[in-house]
Structure 1
Amino acid sequence: MPVFTIDVPEGAAPAAKHKMLHEITEALDEAYQIPDTRGWVREYPVENVSQDGRVGAEPVRPVCSLEAPELFRWDAKRKLVQKIESAIADAYQGIANTDEVLVLINEFPLHNVGWRASLQSDKPEIVAAVAKANG
């Protein structure tokens, strides 16, 4: 159920993006152990990005938005953020400001997520995976 979107400037090679998506998916699988992780890359021409009200004044600072179950272990969140930032930095080094990757984590309790015609809180395997992740 973890879903992520990465907003970055254009320019990374397809192989670099594929590697980044794979590494982020692995990091999410390690943290949550829930099937059906989905990820998207949204690329923008630099003239379509504003940072602090300025267009093109500095390299684009990537943003990763993560929608996922509640994860109460801060050590697991820190490790996850580090892996996400590292994967993005590897893919966009020299293209974006990879020292300033922003990772936004939006967490949902399982009763607020529908999946396979029911709530995730109704799925024993999902409840068990989240319990294990928060163990």
Structure 2
Amino acid sequence: MIMHMLRADDPHFEKFGEIYFSMVYPGVVKGWHLHRRMTLNYAVVVGTVKLALYDERGDSATRGAVMELFMGESNYALVTIPPGIWNGFKGVGTVPAIVANCATEPHDPGEIERLDPATPTIPYRWDLRHG
């Protein structure tokens, strides 16, 4: 099986900074974080994660919006996250997930903001809810 992530001739490709992989164990939350300059391009190549996004950009039409997506082998997708969006993910399922990020900038700890996953600042809960 071949899983394409991002090509230089894709219309949404900006530029290449670095690609890295993050392993997320079931039940573990990695978040919240926000990049000031970097655009993220996430794809989950193994396992499943719940990706949560929160927009608090002052000039955004979606300011205050929360979005939740399930990504993984059975729902393979590329999600592009612009600078200024809080994001995090939680491993769901029974196997560790591998999240690939093709970022537009090399990693720079000075351009990242972080919040505790349980912060009251972001109106989101990481537990699974059944509708």
Q: TM-score, normalised by structure 2?
A: 0.26
Bigger proportion of residues as strand = 2
> Which structure has the bigger radius of gyration?
1
Q: TM-score, normalised by structure 1?
A: 0.26
More relative contact order, 1 or 2 (CA 8 Å, 6+ apart): 2
